[in-house]
């Protein structure tokens, strides 16, 4: 895959992930504010579950941002498009589907 195409895909994904992360953080703040309001008779377990779900989604999105940053760094280093484990090339189809991919399909499958 051409590096400019990879950069464009990663940039698009970064924008999307950052937007989702901001929305998730806002939702988490809302859940926490509602949980702290006096007189709220809602089930506290339900609020805690919502907060935990928001936190889990936020963690996943931050991990995805880290993967995007690592991919951008691999482009800068000239090693983008190769497995970080084996050094084998990643197919263009794999990189189109996941521009931050770090492993071949077989490496993921047998990890």
User: For each of the chain's 111 residues, which pLDDT tens digit applies?
Assistant: 999 999 999 999 999 999 999 998 887 676 666 665 655 555 556 666 767 787 899 999 999 999 999 999 999 999 999 999 999 999 999 999 999 999 999 999 998
What pLDDT is recorded for position 55?
A: 84
Does residue 91 lie within any of the structural domains?
no
Is 30 within the bounds of a domain? yes
The answer to whether 71 touches 100, Cβ cutoff 8 Å, is yes
How many residues are given for the chain?
111
**What confidence score (pLDDT) does residue 105 get?**
94
Q: Are 99 and 15 in contact (CB under 8 A)?
A: no
Please give the backbone phi and psi of residue 89, each rounded to the nearest 5 degrees, phi first. -70, 145
94 in a structural domain? no
Q: Report CA Rg, the chain.
A: 19
CA 8 to each of CA 1, 2, 14: distance values in angstroms, whole numbers, following the listed order: 11, 10, 10
How many structural domains is the chain composed of? Answer: 1
Which residue range(s) make up the domain with 59? Answer: 3-80
């Amino acid at each position: 895959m051409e590096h400019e195409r990879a950069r464009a895909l990663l940039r698009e994904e970064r924008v999307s992930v950052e937007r989702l992360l901001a929305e998730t953080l806002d939702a988490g703040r809302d859940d926490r504010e509602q949980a702290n309001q006096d007189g709220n008779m809602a089930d506290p377990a339900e609020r805690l579950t919502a907060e935990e779900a928001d936190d889990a989604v936020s963690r996943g999105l931050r991990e995805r941002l880290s993967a995007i940053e690592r991919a951008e760094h691999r482009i800068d280093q000239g090693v983008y498009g190769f497995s970080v484990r084996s050094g084998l090339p990643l197919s263009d189809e794999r990189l189109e589907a996941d521009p931050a991919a770090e492993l071949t399909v077989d490496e993921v499958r047998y990890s």
